[in-house]
């Protein structure tokens, strides 16, 4: 056998051995794996370099077959066990079973008996009409009579309340009038203001009290009362008189300059009043008090001219002669 043939036989035997080893490794691999294991890359074994076979000596005997050692197969690492999470079972709510309702058959209304006689039929018809009329009357009462009754009761109550209030007010006003008629002093007028301050008599009592203070030589207190009257009873019939008396209080307090101006304003404001000539006389008097006799003479002359034949004109003529004597 030639050397080339021997070498070819050796190589083909070596190749068959390697193929058988690979086939065994594939058969050992587990089948039907659920989770493929991630294998770490295995380093390829370096190719075995075959040492050159020394040429054997040519012997008549055949050489013994060389048995190569199988390469060590690397131990496969165990695959990691993956624990499966338990499935969560969601229980669906069981619908409530409705209670069983037994159907009760409706009672069949009894059939009305037919009247035996025409008289009985007429009676039944009359009774039915009476029931219908009574029902209509009750409905009418509920719809109209009851609300009307409530309104009438409310109106009567308001009328009664107003009557009682009015009667009480009238009684109080009558008592105030009686007290005013019998009053004789400042204390009496003050009592009327305290007890009957909201009655018409209170305004007159206030005027009378101010006049009592002025007559008693208390012009400052009288001035305060007149001012209070004009604030509370501005539209009263005695308001003009109160305004004039207020200026008289200033004159009594010695405020002649202010008083003379206010008297002139009063006469211009109320030219038709019976107090207009009185205001002019008071103005001339204030001018005399300040030794302004020429101005006082002019005022007296105006009174004689504008109010001839009156008592005020006579008074002005007498004062005019006295002022003329002072001027000379």
Q: What is the CATH number of the domain that holds 135?
A: 1.25.40
Are 126 and 228 contained in the same domain?
A: yes
User: How many whole angstroms from its chain centre is CA 203?
Assistant: 44
Query: What are 261-274's pLDDT values in tens digits?
Result: 999 999 999 999 99
With respect to residue 290, please indicate whether it lies within any of the assigned structural domains.
yes
Of 245, 176, 254, 170, residue with least CA distance to 214: 245
- Residue 62: per-residue pLDDT: 54
Are 268 and 202 contained in the same domain?
A: no
With respect to residue 314, please indicate whether it lies within any of the assigned structural domains.
yes
Instruction: Please identify, among 220, 241, 262, the residue that sits at the C-terminal boundary of a domain.
Output: 241
Are 146 and 204 contained in the same domain?
A: yes
User: What is the domain count for the chain?
Assistant: 2
- Residue 108: per-residue pLDDT: 59
Q: Are 180 and 199 in contact (CB under 8 A)?
A: no
One-character DSSP codes across 35-104: S---PPPPPPPPPP-PPPPPPPP--SSPPPPP-PPPPPPPPPPPPPP-PPPPPPPPPPPPPPPPPPPPPP
Are 216 and 326 contained in the same domain?
A: no
Containing structural domain, residue 198: 122-241
Q: Are 17 and 48 in contact (CB under 8 A)?
A: no
Are 139 and 235 contained in the same domain?
A: yes
CATH number for 288:
1.25.40.10
Q: Are 210 and 222 in contact (CB under 8 A)?
A: yes
What's the start-to-end Cα distance of the chain, in Å?
Answer: 196
- Residue 169: per-residue pLDDT: 80
Are 141 and 218 contained in the same domain?
A: yes
Are 232 and 127 contained in the same domain?
A: yes
With respect to residue 145, please indicate whether it lies within any of the assigned structural domains.
yes
Query: What are 157-200's pLDDT values in tens digits?
Result: 555 455 545 577 888 888 888 888 999 999 999 999 999 988 99
Are 126 and 221 contained in the same domain?
A: yes
- Residue 31: per-residue pLDDT: 47
Task: Tell me which DSSP letter residue 143 carries.
Answer: I
Are 207 and 165 contained in the same domain?
A: yes
- Residue 46: per-residue pLDDT: 45
- Residue 292: per-residue pLDDT: 93
| Residue segments in the chain with a per-residue pLDDT below the cut of 70 | 1-15, 17-18, 20-116, 118-122, 125-126, 129-130, 132-138, 140-166, 328
One-character DSSP codes across 163-196: HHHHHHHHHHHHHHHHHHHH--SHHHHHHHHHHS
Instruction: Please identify, among 216, 241, 266, the residue that sits at the C-terminal boundary of a domain.
Output: 241
The set of residues, in sequence order, having a beta carbon less than 8 Å from that of 70 and lying 6+ positions away, is: 17, 21
Rg (CA), the chain: 70
């Amino acid at each position: 056998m030639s050397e080339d043939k021997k070498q070819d036989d050796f190589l083909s035997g070596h190749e068959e051995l390697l193929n058988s080893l690979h086939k065994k490794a594939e058969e050992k691999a587990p089948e039907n794996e659920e989770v493929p294991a991630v294998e770490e890359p295995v380093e390829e074994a370096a190719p075995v370099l075959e040492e050159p076979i020394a040429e054997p000596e040519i012997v008549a005997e055949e050489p013994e077959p060389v048995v190569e050692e199988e390469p060590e197969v690397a131990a496969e690492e165990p695959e990691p066990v993956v624990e499966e999470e338990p499935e969560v079972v969601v229980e669906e709510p069981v619908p409530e079973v409705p209670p069983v309702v037994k159907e009760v058959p409706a009672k069949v209304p009894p059939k009305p008996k037919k009247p035996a006689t025409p008289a009985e039929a007429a009676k039944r018809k009359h009774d039915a009409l009476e029931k219908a009329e009574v029902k209509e009357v009750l409905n009418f009462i509920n719809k109209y009579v009851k609300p009307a009754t409530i309104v009438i009761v409310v109106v009567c109550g308001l009328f009664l309340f107003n009557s009682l209030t009015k009667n009480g007010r009238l009684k109080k006003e009558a008592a105030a009038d009686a007290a005013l008629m019998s009053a004789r002093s400042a204390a009496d007028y003050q009592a009327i203001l305290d007890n009957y301050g909201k009655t018409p008599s209170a305004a007159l009592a206030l005027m009378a009290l101010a006049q009592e203070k002025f007559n008693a030589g208390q012009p400052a207190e009288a001035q305060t009362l007149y001012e209070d009257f004009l604030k509370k009873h501005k539209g009263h019939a005695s308001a003009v008189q109160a305004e004039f008396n207020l200026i008289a209080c200033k004159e009594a307090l010695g405020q002649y300059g202010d008083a003379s101006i206010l008297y002139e304003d009063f006469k211009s404001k109320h030219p038709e009043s019976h107090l207009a000539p009185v205001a002019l006389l008071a103005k001339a008097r204030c001018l005399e008090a300040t030794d302004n006799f020429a101005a006082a003479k002019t005022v007296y002359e105006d009174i004689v001219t504008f109010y001839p034949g009156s008592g005020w004109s006579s008074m002005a003529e007498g004062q005019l002669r006295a002022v003329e004597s002072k001027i000379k």
